[in-house]
Every structure is written in structure tokens, then in C-alpha cells.
Copies of this chain bind each other. A is one copy, B any other.
Amino acid sequence: MKRYYTTDEWSVIEEGFDPTFQEASESIFSLGNGHMGQRANFEENYSGESLQGTYIAGIYYPDKTRVGWWKNGYPEYFAKVLNAPNWIGIAVRAGNEDLDLHTCKVLSFRRELNMKHGYLERSFIAELKSGRQLQVNTRRFLSLAADEIGAIRYSVRSVNFEGTLELLPYLDANVVNRDANYDEKFWEILETGFKADNAFLRMRTRKSGFEVCYSMNCTAEINGTANKAKMQPVQRSGYAGFKIETGINASDEVVLYKYVAVLTSLDHKPDSLVDISIDTLMQASGRRFDGLFADHAVQWDEKWSHSNIVIKGDPEAQQGIRFNIFQLNQTYTGRDQRLNIGPKGFTGEKYGGSTYWDTEAFLIPFYLSTEPDHVSRNLLLYRYKHLDKAIENATKLGFNQGAALYPMVTMNGEECHNEWEITFEEIHRNGAIAYAIYNYVKYTGEKEYLAQYGLEVLIALSRFWRQRVNWSDVKGKYVILGVTGPNEYENNVNNNWYTNRMASWTLRYTLESLDYVMREHPMQYQQLVNKTGFRYDAETSAWNDIIKNLYLPLLEERGIFLQQDGFMDKEQRMVSELSPAERPINQHWSWDRILRSVFLKQADVLQGIFFFEDEFTTDTIRRNFDFYEPRTVHESSLSACIHSILANRIGEVEKAYELYLRTSRLDLDDYNKEVAEGLHITSMGGTWMSIVIGFGGLRIKEGMLSFTPNLPRKWKYLSFIVNFRGRVLNIGISEKETEVKLLKGDTLQVEVNGKIVNCKL
């Protein structure tokens, strides 16, 4: 396969310009800093195909639901990631001609995303229709040190042109969302203006009423000295910029520095937003471009110091995993409990709302192992704060007495998805919420979290499951009817093994947590009883009864956990029997045919086995793996990683590597021809897991870090850094040995290949 982007350890590089890749590259070269994000749109005007995308964390629009056929219980709105006003724009005019890479000749072009220090560079020589040639070099970044600040250095050198060069840096709120359901305008413009030498825009989102202020400050140099040319304010509704006109000769260079502050009413009082924005901007621009960049780069060094992975012998894998770590760190920094991680992060509009069960199942492990504990804790608190809404959501669907159903997709805790088989039926998401609490406590050892927050959520989840089961006389068991499991290639099934297992495990874990809190934190327990109206005897005995009597479908003669009732009635075909022309089936088969086929979109029973691995023998894991893997088409980006980890678990390292390859460069190589819409941010956590948990064999055993690594043949060396209970450790794995080095923190015992090792500084 010919790769479009140059392979490099620390960078993604595009050499030469192909407009058919422009939207894809806009996704790939995206920048973000947790507070905001920006697709790699060009600064100068571009009239070709482009998905303009600027996103501000937590700022959304409740777009009126669009459906073909309304079902009772659907939410009125789908909270959408908003395309925010454009802050990067710099129009360039040479003589009477616009610089637009779509209409001029591109003599050379190079774009680089530097992942080590988080910036985007671009250089090109363009020849305008008249023959005038300009050489442009740009660098931009969204500061990780001052997360409300973006900065751009934009240099234009005349190759052969003499005359007037005009640069027009601007802010522009006249933007739309491509995926708006009814082509509504999402932004209302409140103010457009100038204060001192700064331009600013103040906007409000319609309906949701978030206020946002952009302010901009620019300086220019000619051939290295400050430009004396006046900056002419240019203004229209929702648009504010500065026109800079200079006469230039061949080989003259004009450099423009553009600083922008992006502040929102989530962090500041609306009525002082403009003033604070300009203060923040002045402070930043005072540091100048180089100073700001230095502060930013230090922060990236710090990030990498506890999240880096090194793979030797496989440059594509090296680039792939760094790309994933980089994008995850750009998307979520853990500073704000109100934020979460959307499927596309800050790289596209698709899938709307920011939070799916992906966070709990695929991202918390990453942040747990690569960031200080508060980062994953904040992700947990995000859900804790949405508990009331989750209870309200369950109430709307007919549940009561404090039962909670967390939304399938959300921004602010309210459900915003609208496909009945998902919205109402993919209830296993509630299990992932519980699992994340368990995983957090297990990894960090912070059991007190249960007393403070965790148990309250667990009780509400258990109340949900209690009401969601019903007694089947014919089975003599409790059953869970009408669900969709993780495998969305079956809908409205009965007794999905994964869902039932998550339900009974949640009840069990709630009971355990209850015991712990009653015993160790009696005061907090009493507060919880008062708050939730918890009735110990009635509720725990009902839960125990369900744990004991919940039906779990089995294929006993083969020792298989059965995906759902009736699964064996399906025609038992193997993925290997499918012709390449039919793949992926979700693009070639009608939906009903997919549904009634045996093929799984993603790990389902195996997802459950992954979660509760300790409870199964290797033989059981192998049997289930051998049964489900040949039936799985991996048409979800969340699938192959789980299969890869389990393949490692049963010692099939080359199979694990083959599966790993499906996820490692999903976006960089654009497997599914959809990267133009944005990156698969959440599945990047899965890729990380398949390296660290899969090949690295990271586990927590009785509170101790443990590693049983397996290197695929191709890899000469693998190292990764993990955070664990205040320590930072580097695990270096070669064919011969596994070396665990403590980089930070107190002495620690870890298990390596079954042996206890002491790690000191």
C-alpha cells in the first residue's frame, strides 16, 4: 500500500499538495489543547473542498431532532459539537490577485504536524495566474500552557513579485455546521469591534446561550523589522480584521504574527468576557510568538514524559501510536470536570454529543496509566454530576425510585441520541459506567472514591437493573429482553450475554461497595441512605435474588458463552467465507441482512471476557475467542483492539499483531475512507490498550502492577511509560528481557513475568 503521509517518528508529513486529500488532511493535521481544537484548514482563502472546523470544548447547540418516524421517548434535541467562529483566517492578496491554493499553481507544498511539540507547519510556493510567485511559511499552535490562546506565524516571501502585498488577518463568526439538521444558524452575533489595537467578536449560541469572545492582536515585520504600515480595521457583522498593505520587492519577506484569545462564559462572567479576553490576549502577545511557543513546548515535553511509547523495528507502528497518544492528549487534558471526549474530538462534527460509553470502556485505561489520577477521576465525576439527569432519563422511559439510565450520547447529561434500538436498548452502557468506577478504584487504590461518589452512582445503576429484568416462568430465571449489545449488528435481542453479565456484575459490585462503605465510612453511608432513600434489606435482597437467578445464555456442549438467545439459529458462516467484494458488509449488505447474519460488528461476549478476564480460565477465553473471532467483521473501530488483547492473553501474539494492525493506523492510512469527517479519537484509546495491556501485558493484581509482555516478531523493542499511584515507570521490553525503571516517585514492587521486582529511583 502506498502511504499518502510520510512515515516519521514524531511527525506526520504531507509532501506535495493533492486537493482530493484536503479534507482528510484537515482532520489528520488537527490541533487541540483540551480547551479548543482546530482542523488544519488553511489560513488564506481556499475555494476547494474543505470542512471548516473550529471547536470549543463544552460549547454545543441543541439541534432539533430529525427522524423519519418518531418513537415515544425520543429526545427533542441532539446536542451538537459546534463549528465555532474562524480565528485562523488570513486573506492574502498580491496586487489584484487572491492567494487561493485551489485556483493557483502549487509549485511546492509541505505540511507537517509535529507531535513532539504540538504544532502545525506549512510551507509552499504558489504561482498566481499572472505568474507572480509567493513563498509562504506558517506555523501555528494552540497553547497547552495558556489554553485560551492560539498563535500563528504567517510569513510571505515574494519570489518574483513587486507591488502591493495585502494581508488581512481576521475573525469571522459567519460560520455554519455542515451537519445541521435543518440548516439553522447556530450563532448569534452580539458585538463586533475594536478595543485599543485589538479586534474582537462576541457571540452567543442560540438556544444553549453560551457566550464566547474572540479577541485578536497582530504584528507584522518586513525583512525582520517591525512593519510601520498601518493596520486598517475592517469590520462587518460578525467579522473583524486588520488590513495591512505593504509595497514589496522580489525576495522581500513579510511576517505576520496573529494572536487570538478564545474565552467562554463557561469560565468567565458573560458581562466581563470582552475585557478579560483582551487582558488574556495582551498577556499572551506580550510573550511574543517565540515565548508563547516555548511555554507550550515545555508542556508537551511534560506530557510525553509520562505517556511516551517507543517501538523499534516498525516505524509505521511507532508513528501510529504517537499519533494516537498525541491526539488523545490534544482532546482531553483533564482540567475540567464538565468536559469529556467525543468520538471525533476536535477534528470534525460527526456524531454530535461528546460522550459515549467509549470514554468508560476505552479511554479511562489510557488516562489512568498516562496521567495523574485526577484526570480519570474528573472523567468519573463528569458522570457523577450527571446522575440526576440519568435518573430523569430513566424516569422518562418508565423507571422509577431513583433508577438511572445514563444516556447513549450526551453533552450535558441529557440523552440526545434518536435511534430506538440504540437510545433505548443499548443499555449495557450503564454497565460501563459501573466498570469505570471499579477500574478507577482498582488502579488508583482510592477506595474512598466509593464513599464519596461511586456508591451513589452504583445504587442508581443497580436500581435500574432490578427494574429492567423480568421473571420468565418458562426459564425459571430472570431475563433481560429487548436490548442491543455492543455488537450493533443485532438489535432488540433477548438475553445478550454481555448485557446480562454486566447487569449481574454491577449488582454484585454495588453490594461489595456497599459493605465497604457501611463498614469504613458509616457517616457517609448514612448520608447516602438519607439522600437516596436506600432501603437496605429490601433492595439488597432483591439484588441478591437477581444475581443468583439471572439467566446467562450458554452453549454448554461447546463451552461458549452465547451472544444472545437464538444465536445458534443463525446460519453459521465464517468471515473468511465472505468475498472481498462484500466487505465491509455495512456498505454492501442491506441492514436486515446484516442483522440476521451471524457476523459481529465488534467484540461483544469477548468485551465482557476482557472486562472480567480474571474470572475465566485461559481455556474458556480461548474457546470463546476461537468461536467469536472468525465471526467478527471488526467494522467498529472499538473491536480489533479487544480481540488483539485477548489473542495476547491466550498466547497468540502474531494473531494479536495482525489484529493490532487494523487499529494502529486507522486514520493515518484512512482504512475506511472517512477520515475527512474527523479522526476516530475514542478508538485511539483502544489502540493504546492493545499495546500496553496487550503486548505489554499490564494488569493490576491485588493492587500491584504486573507485566507479562509478548513482543510480536517484527518489534525489536517496545517501551512505554505508565503512571501508577504517584509513580512514573518506564517499561522496556526486548526479546531478551523486560526492564522496569522507576522515573518518579517512591520505591515500588511490581510483578514482571510472575516475579516480584523492586523498583527504586
Q: Which residues of chain A have a CB within 8 Å of any CB of chain B?
A: 65-69, 71-73, 396-398, 418-421, 424-425, 470-475, 479, 481-482, 491-494, 565-566, 568-572, 586-596
Contacts and interface: CB of A to CB of B under 8 A. Distances in A.
A596 B67 CA distance: 22
A72 B591 contact: yes
A68 B418 contact: yes
A422 to B, nearest CB: 8
A592 B420 contact: yes
A419 B592 CA distance: 11
Given A492-B492, A565-B566, 18 more contacts: A66-B67, A67-B68, A68-B418, A69-B418, A72-B586, A72-B590, A397-B590, A398-B593, A420-B592, A421-B492, A424-B590, A424-B592, A471-B571, A472-B569, A473-B572, A481-B566, A481-B570, A492-B595
Given A72-B586, A73-B591, A590-B424, A472 B568 contact: yes
17 contacts: A65-B68, A67-B67, A72-B594, A73-B591, A398-B590, A421-B492, A424-B591, A470-B596, A472-B568, A474-B569, A475-B569, A479-B569, A481-B566, A481-B596, A482-B596, A492-B595, A565-B569
Given A66-B66, A419-B68, A590-B72, A595 B473 contact: no
A493 to B, nearest CB: 8
A397 B566 contact: no
Given A568-B473, A569-B472, A590 B73 contact: yes
A398 B589 CA distance: 7
Question: From DSSP, what is the main secondary structure of chain A's interface residues?
Answer: loop
Contact of A474 (B67, B69, B568, B593): B568
A413 to B, nearest CB: 18
A593 B418 CA distance: 16
A669 to B, nearest CB: 24
Contacts of A398: 589-590, 593
Given A66-B66, A418-B68, A470 B591 contact: no
A355 to B, nearest CB: 18
A397 B590 CA distance: 5
Nearest to A78: B68
Contacts of A572: 473
A596 to B, nearest CB: 4
A492 to B, nearest CB: 5
A427 to B, nearest CB: 9
Contact of A470 (B491, B571, B586): B571
A437 B71 CA distance: 35
A72 B472 contact: no
A81 B345 CA distance: 43
A280 B424 CA distance: 57
Nearest to A468: B596
A682 B593 CA distance: 31
A425 to B, nearest CB: 6
Contacts of A471: 571
Given A67-B67, A590-B396, A594-B72, A481 B420 contact: no
Contacts of A424: 590-592
Contact of A569 (B494, B586, B590, B595): B494
A265 to B, nearest CB: 30
